[in-house]
Structure 1
């Protein structure tokens, strides 16, 4: 049976702590890609020399708490009968786990990683490529995108340039950098296999980049870069038969989503989801045929809550939302992500089909 395999020593959970940081301007992009080595061999080594110091190993020490598996021990009468102290005994277990992270702001010591890497962490330690060991502090995390932000205090850090992941294309070369199985920094290569993957995070805001660059447990939170060394994604999950290792299907959170989440976490310590206040449904072939649409794409509005951002924008039941800010909204899942990741209080332009006419409606995103 095929299933999704996250980091083997961490599960999805919540942990958030805010500190007052600001996001520095992004570094200028590096200027090279593949190069010919002195022996005539085509190599990525010069690019990796620039990028790999920005990828860190993360060690986590924490405690997980679970109730006694026998429910009778939670019964006060049972406990009294057998002379047990009052109150249900909780099983506490210390765990150690390892993952990866990416320095994206050297001046302020900001590191991106995955939420499941640092879940239930009591102590987070970051090891740099130059072997410096630093104590890290959790700034905040977001279960909807699996992104977490860490902060370290250190000088002479190296940061990685965040690419515009929307410009990434299927077939682009990829390099995954991380700490698989705790072995230490490792580099693997592949291509962008697909874009817009979803279904990995229940109720999440997903738009995963799929790659065949080998990603294994411990790579979580590491860098997925293009041939220029620009960060296009944060390695997050693999699809693996029987819970084994990599079979060429890995997933990374796009850098644009990671950047958006990071900016909110750095500013407030948490993430606020945008909303329109409407009930929606994807346009399927039967709806498309009823409405006379040429293809089954778009999102039909079933209900509009009175006084909601959608109502104030002029949305009406029966409207078909085609795009947000010019980006196609082919399914309800895509529209939910587009609105959910939009800045609360900001304004978006909705392309709406109504009675055969295409309208442009300005909607202010609510919380």
Structure 2
């Protein structure tokens, strides 16, 4: 299989890497985190200016019509800089969902603004009991005269506080755990009955818990056919799993580089500790783990659009397990090689480690995806 990138893909990767290097230093990131909201809309506009928010938007809606491989390259670079703007939620999950759901009106109204970066749209799907099981939907949408009434709770919605518009999944029929009966509705975050609690997460990102109490929306707020949204949600989260793996690979690349640099400059017994053979072995193991993770992220990018569901699920779960385990190993080794300083806020390595830890737990941890891998192989 040819793993070489096209000239256009390589140019994209180089452009994003240069942008992150020039605009997202450790000090710049810290200033953004300490600013209002914990992220920067100005930085978001610069990201949009590069065309990155248009990658997963079809050309007919003002996008670039790219796919998972281009997303992988962007996430590699954003991972290296630990970019905190909600790219995964707003530029991957939301546009993929809107493209797959097949609602022409919603696509025409939302996708051009997503592509331009003018509007941040967030799919709020996760609930307290979701974990890796994305078919767990307890939020209800009951029909009323001329519309629907939504009741439920969405939690740890990454980028939820930044949303100009929410796409809320809710059950219009069936029981929790059924894939049929799940619908999605457009909801204004400031609508009556919507309570949004925004907070910071361990890795520097922002998340929100969204409570819906008798939120009335018109029938036109329904996105796609009633009760038929799960396939589009699943497709969006398959892309997200691939993108998360790519982000982790970018972080591991940066962790290996900063650790090697530190060990070359940190001296013990009159010489750099990088010359100690036992530490060289550790760093070699870190490199091997990150290379294996990179290969699995390629697999995830290729397979996340595979029409054969079993093959797709098996590949994505395998990638999530390997990347998660690699991220934990690389992060732990980097912290230890930095000594006590490795856990301080003043060093970037601690922030890398926190983000790798969060990625391993997002959309199902290694244990969950190991079970998924076994289950798909048995079918």
Q: TM-score, normalised by structure 1?
A: 0.26
> Could you say which structure has the larger radius of gyration?
1
Identify the structure with the greater helix proportion: 2
Q: TM-score, normalised by structure 2?
A: 0.25
Identify the structure with the greater strand proportion: 1
